[in-house]
Amino acid sequence: MPSVAEINYLHRRYRVPRHKAFACPNWIDTERFQPMPEAEKQPRRVAFVGRFHAQKDPLVLLEALRGLPDVELLMIGGGPMKPQIEARVAELGLHATLLDRVSNEDLPRYLSSCALYALPTRYEGGSPKTLLEAMACGLPVICTDAFGANEAFEDGQHGVKIAVGDVAGLRAALQRLLDDPQTAQAMGQRARHHVLDQFSIERALQRELDVLAFAS
């Protein structure tokens, strides 16, 4: 299973014994996704990577950015909500760039140019790969305490957790990290180390070997 939350769900719903299920979360390529010094970091640029879909709640992010000075938003993903997002960006007068698609080769450069990553998702099936990729690139993250996403990082260590749909909480977290770059940088460095320790391919292979050893 990709997360402990799903193991707990199976236990509650189907009475699957917890000791017979193993959490094997997503892994990412930590060689590809790493801080890129050649990317010129913009101190007030916020990244969002994910589908432009209600599940990701992108409009909450737009509302949270209202009134924050000199903030640039980079949104990568594309999807059915793009026209709605573009309209709301114009209404709020935000400085935002929307990209439908970026290759995995180029994505680390885009992420490394940002000060932080925000994902106001309503739910996830497991640890979101885009969240882990941002952390691997040394970005502190702001993410909802949502099913499947809340296991990826530790609040206060690698970023900030907020409640689902909490515009005020998201705005406060954005302002805190944007106004305190030293704290944000320290969180980002810890986030990178956390991904190396828990979400690398080597860690994923070790988990699978542990499962095979248990089953043998």
All domains in the chain, ordered by first residue: 31-198 (3.40.50.2000)
| Model confidence band, residue 170 (pLDDT cutoffs 50, 70, 90) | very high
* Burial state string for 160-195 with b = 16 or more CB within 10 A and e = fewer than 16: bbbebebbebbbebbbebbeebeebbebbebbbebb
Q: Model confidence over 58-75: pLDDT tens digits?
A: 999 999 999 999 999 999
Is the entire prediction scored with pTM above 0.75? yes
Q: Model confidence over 86-100: pLDDT tens digits?
A: 999 999 999 999 999
Beta bridge partners of 159: 141, 155
Q: Model confidence over 48-58: pLDDT tens digits?
A: 999 999 999 99
Q: Model confidence over 180-192: pLDDT tens digits?
A: 999 999 999 999 9
Q: At a CB cut-off of 8 Å and minimum separation 6, what does 65 contact?
A: 46, 71, 73, 92, 94, 171, 174
Cα end-to-end distance, the chain, whole Å: 19
Sign of the dihedral through C-alpha 197, 2, 99, 140: negative
| Model confidence band, residue 147 (pLDDT cutoffs 50, 70, 90) | confident
Residue 160 CA, chain-centre distance (Å), reads 11
What does the pLDDT average to over 15-36? 73
